[in-house]
Chains A and B, each alone.
Chain A
Amino acid sequence: MVNTANVTTRPEDRFVAEFERFEALHTNGSSEHFPLLRQKALRQFSATGFPPRKSESWKYTNIGSILRRPYSAPDTGTVRASGLDGLGAYVAVFVNGHFDASQSTLDDLPEDITVASFTDQTQAGRVRAHLARYAAFEHEPFTALNTAFVHDGALVHLPAGIALSRPIHVIHAVTASYAALLQPRTLVISEDGAQAQIVQSTEVHTKMPVLINSVTEIRVGARAQLDHLMLQAGTPSTSNVANVSVYQETESKFYNGSFTFGGEVVRNNISILPDAEHCETLMHGLFVARGTSHVDNNTLMDHAKPNCFSSEYYKGILDEHATGVFNGKVLVRQDAQQTNAYQTNRSIVLTNTAHMYSKPALEIYADDVKCSHGATTGQLDKDGLFYLRARGIRADEARRLMLISFAGDIIEKVPAASLHRVLYREVERLLR
């Protein structure tokens, strides 16, 4: 065993050491939890290491200083999750990575729908069949790291043809008296024709630095319709690397909404692969950052098959010393004829010390396609501001109203109407 007190030059070594410590704690009796997968992922992680500073996809985000901190995977903890008021969801709560049945409200779920912990023995076969199938870790060191630590996680299974009227909400809460490494894992499997909304959020109940490295795998069955929302609202010392991998089957519809409200360094890696014809994908995102927050959205819309539609729309508001990054790629592979793909990024930079880096990219190998993208960065519309002031509204209030309506463009498009109020509340809180 590596002595963690040793000063190591590579941050990777520290994580490997932490793995070994964590592993020793968890192998007593539960070694059947995908040991091979975890070992393989660890080997992959230590071989690849974290992305080099100069790699193209990390060009604008330096996560090195975050990774050099000594994190520990937390033990079981107790904390009351705050949840999201007014969402009216079926809630599954995980504290420090462990399922907390006492705080979850899953009893009134329709009985053929499963929302369970990976440790639920009745679901072991299902988890094993799908885990790490959609989120490949070969080229994703953060996914590899997460996979190496997988013990518990949230499984959502939606049987064919069901339509759920209330959202499912998975909460990951963390509490610790030391720098904590939380690695939530979520697996959503929807069978053919299922319809549901899944909301994921993280809660940090500590002032200590926290690194959340989450992986979410989603499979959208044929003709299924799934909405997936991700809410990140961390403390100024929370860093978040969120990896979302989505696999869409024929004629399915998928909405992804990513909402980031602060955090020290946030990096979202969202990758969606419609691997069959006639799929529709909406990829929306909103980030509001202030202080010295750094938010990086790295997305891949991977069109592999013909006749699909996708529309990506990201908006950002950068205040104070914050930095925003939009690094979005639309890839249209050679077979993906008749693809219609759109990508838009609009950002507002409010101060002299805020920064925005936008890199919307199209990579297209099929000729019979309609693809376009656009990006704008600027300030608030002066005419709009003037109009509001001419109606007697104070300048700062006018500015706030304009910003809220700028963000509202994304919020209003969220399919779960019960979330609109929750999201507006967050935005208003940040823009106060």
Chain B
Amino acid sequence: MLRKPGALFPSAAGRKRRAGTRSLFQNGSQVEIGSENVLKYIGKRLLAMIPVVLGVTLIVYCIMSLAPGDPARTILGEQATEEQVQALRDEMGLNDPLLVQYVRYVWKLLHGDFGTSYSSRIDVSKEIWSRFPNTIKLALVASLVSVIFALPLGIVAAVKQNTFFDSASMFFAIIGISCPTFWFGLILILVFAVHLKWFPVSGQVDTLKGIILPAVTLGFNSMAAMARVTRSSMLEVIRQDYIRTARAKGVSNRNVILQHAVPNAMIPTVTVIGLRIGGLLAGAVICETVFAWPGIGRLLVQSIMSRNTPVVLGCIIIFSICFSLVNLIVDILYAFIDPRIKSQYQ
């Protein structure tokens, strides 16, 4: 007879254990912590994103409306007559009360309609989707660059605390945190593109060479923050009793660090990585402008300049959804990093 996957007898508990489907026993009865609770939790969090996005749109809508300048005038140009401008304003619904305009916008939004770009007259969603992959690509490569450098740097700095390596890497990290992105990007362009000619001056979406400078520019700042957090959380974990236990077991130094210390030190680091990936998307606004990268960061800047409200709102909505999603992923990751948190998901 086939045994139900959930119905394990105590004696079979060990043998049946598989990665991913870990069963926990409490007071003799089995409690499956995992799929169901976590799914419920994810559902709750996704629903909670709706008010966040609506709040963000309301604020941005108000700011865009209060800002000086007239979209109709921008579209028609300086030569257009007042009548033409007014006619266009009527047509665009700009003469209606702010709240009416906002509700109309949200209503369309709920139907999946992001509106039409004032300048290009094409769908905002189309415009964003054509550029969004570029931003994602840049952000991913940047976060990869920063994580690859930050983790080893932070871990080694902690293990070799108060040595030259420690001071040197933390000095490097301080520089990383203090450098403004636009300045660092320009310096990289100056050194590696203009003088050494190793990389193209502006970003190129399709080549590896073309993405390196923008990604390093974008990731440098985050790398520094991640390295510092990794170091301090490693320092804390290294002093824990269970690290001493591992040494008493006879675990080699290398494995004490890699198998016992690092996994336990990852909670603060993962938090920062998550926040930073969100930040990388936002940071893309400056970096994409410096490197003329055709992503939504640059689109956002251009749209703000031309008072292109639907595009600005579209970009902001995408940014805020990305930010919330990354945060959700981080929270779910906690459960895998620390089993003590997993049991709290209800």
User: A and B from one assembly?
Assistant: no
* A positions within 8 Å CB-CB of B: none
Q: Which residues of B contact A (CB under 8 A)?
A: none
